């Protein structure tokens, strides 16, 4: 563990222009859900993901037309692109030739050692990394049959495959061991982190829709990152992929690992609250999502924690009956009416100079 950062030191791996591991920032990934052969739709989705903050994008390559489209997609985007491959090693080779910045293969279904050798040879020639991406839903029959926990099966499957790669002299490797069970996933990554220094790609697979998947991902990814484990994250949601970026950013920000947007501290309201705080907090949060200024804004409903939180924040509002006191850098600066809350807070964020 690096005592300054609290993070497990890992090998540095280059994915196009993005570096993971080696103490570099934890990168945010997502994956397209368009048809890859539909170049226009895929490029449009990747651009939307990039705009939202996606730093590495993965694209499924299930067939030849998808592999053929890969080159055209790559030519039109400027974030690293990863080809997601299952069943057919030849498609991995085709994607590498088409310019993939990384290949993800699944040891549970990619075939035998000769198939893996084919992919490793092509990746080595192109000098790109391979992610060994193990999933609980696609463990090989042999691994599945072992008398072990899901976590052990996941970690062992990854470790056995690392062995095959290293025998070929290939160590440009990223690893993942995902399960739809949060705690099995956490245990699998802990086992893996204790045994290898390759960077780890974290995620809870098949975690569900936006609402439940966000909670499962926050807990699983959050637990691991808080222990210093993990170098890149992908929140998997049954939802438009752009939501995955928002949740990933929120997880990193809540842990204090990276900051992206203003932070809003707002109280749950109770019988003490004399203003209609919920819509104001919601409106403020929505608005500030579009801001990149790293300010902390507190919106508090009463005098209990209000002045304290408002004073601790960069900008604060401690509301009373139909009015509120505005704080700036810890000092009460003025009293305003409830109808002015939103406009005043936005104005103060706009004018605030981060030191």
Map the footprint of its own copies across residues 37-56, applying CB under 8 A.
Answer: 37, 42
Q: Does 228 bind its own copies (CB under 8 A)?
A: no
Q: Give 62 or 111: the residue with its C-beta nearer to its own copies.
A: 62
Q: How are beta strands 13-15 and 173-178 bridged, if at all?
A: unpaired
Q: Give 45 or 172: the residue with its C-beta nearer to its own copies.
A: 45
Closest CA to 166 of 207, 209, 195: 195
Q: Which of 148, 226, 331, 343 binds its own copies (CB under 8 A)?
A: 226
User: Which tokens go with 227?
Assistant: 């222990």
Q: Which of residues 90-109 bind its own copies (CB under 8 A)?
A: 106, 109
- Helix or strand holding residue 217 (H, E): helix 210-226
Half-sphere exposure at residue 204, Cβ-oriented, CA atoms within 13 angstroms: 30
In this structure, how many other beta carbons lie within 10 angstroms of the beta carbon of residue 40?
A: 12
Q: Give 26 or 182: the residue with its C-beta nearer to its own copies.
A: 182
In this structure, how many other beta carbons lie within 10 angstroms of the beta carbon of residue 78?
A: 11
Q: Give 14 or 69: the residue with its C-beta nearer to its own copies.
A: 69
- Smallest separation, CB 127 to its own copies (Å): 26
Q: Which of residues 237-296 bind its own copies (CB under 8 A)?
A: 237-241, 244, 247, 250-251, 254-256, 264-273, 277-278, 281-282, 285
Q: Which of residues 311-330 bind its own copies (CB under 8 A)?
A: 312
Closest CA to 310 of 296, 322, 298, 323: 298
Q: Does 111 bind its own copies (CB under 8 A)?
A: no
Q: Does 156 bind its own copies (CB under 8 A)?
A: no
- Smallest separation, CB 203 to its own copies (Å): 9
Q: Which stretch binds its own copies (CB under 8 A): 12-20, 93-101, 129-137, 342-350?
A: 129-137
Contacts of 335 (CB under 8 A, 6+ apart): 323, 324, 325, 326
Q: Give 72 or 171: the residue with its C-beta nearer to its own copies.
A: 72
Q: Within its chain, how far is the Cα of 6 from the centroid?
A: 19
Q: Give 168 or 328: the residue with its C-beta nearer to its own copies.
A: 328
208 by Cβ neighbours in 10 Å (0-12 / 13-18 / 19+) ranks as: middle
Q: Which stretch binds its own copies (CB under 8 A): 14-22, 89-97, 163-171, 219-227?
A: 219-227
Cα–Cα dist 217/212, whole Å: 9
Q: Which of 10, 14, 29, 34 binds its own copies (CB under 8 A)?
A: 34
- The size of the interface with its own copies (CB under 8 A), counted in residues, is 82
Q: Give 14 or 30: the residue with its C-beta nearer to its own copies.
A: 30
Let me know: does 277 contact 301? Beta carbons within 8 Å. yes
Cα–Cα dist 295/290, whole Å: 13
């Amino acid at each position: 563990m690096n005592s300054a950062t609290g993070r497990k030191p890992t090998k540095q791996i280059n994915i196009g222009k993005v570096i993971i591991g080696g103490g570099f920032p934890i990168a945010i990934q997502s994956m397209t859900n368009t048809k890859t052969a539909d170049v226009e739709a895929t490029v449009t989705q990747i651009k939307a993901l990039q705009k939202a903050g996606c730093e590495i994008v993965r694209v499924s390559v299930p067939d030849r037309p998808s592999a053929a489209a890969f080159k055209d997609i790559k030519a039109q985007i400027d974030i690293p692109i990863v080809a997601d491959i299952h069943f057919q090693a030849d498609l991995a080779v085709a994607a590498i030739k088409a310019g993939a910045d990384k290949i993800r293969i699944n040891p549970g279904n990619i075939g035998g050692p000769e198939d893996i050798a084919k992919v490793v040879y092509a990746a080595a020639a192109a000098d790109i990394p391979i992610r060994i991406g193990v999933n609980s839903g696609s463990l090989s029959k042999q691994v599945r049959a072992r008398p072990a926990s899901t976590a052990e099966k996941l970690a062992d499957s990854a470790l056995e495959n690392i062995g095959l790669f290293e025998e070929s002299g290939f160590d440009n490797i990223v690893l993942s061991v995902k399960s739809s069970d949060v705690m099995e996933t956490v245990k699998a990554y802990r086992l893996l982190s204790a045994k290898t220094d390759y960077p780890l790609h974290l995620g809870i697979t098949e975690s569900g829709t936006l609402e439940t998947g966000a909670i499962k991902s926050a807990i699983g990814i959050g637990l691991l990152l808080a222990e210093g484990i993990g170098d890149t994250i992908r929140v998997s949601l049954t939802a438009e992929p752009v939501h995955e970026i928002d949740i990933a950013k929120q997880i990193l920000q809540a842990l204090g690992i990276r900051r992206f947007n203003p932070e809003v501290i707002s109280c749950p309201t109770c019988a003490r609250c004399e203003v209609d705080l919920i819509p104001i907090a919601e409106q403020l949060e929505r608005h500030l999502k579009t801001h990149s200024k790293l300010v902390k804004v507190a919106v508090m409903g009463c005098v209990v924690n209000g002045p304290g939180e408002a004073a601790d924040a960069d900008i604060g509002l401690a509301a009373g009956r139909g009015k509120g006191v505005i704080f700036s850098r810890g000092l009460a600066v003025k009293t305003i009416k409830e109808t002015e809350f939103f406009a005043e807070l936005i104005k103060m964020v706009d004018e605030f100079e981060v030191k």
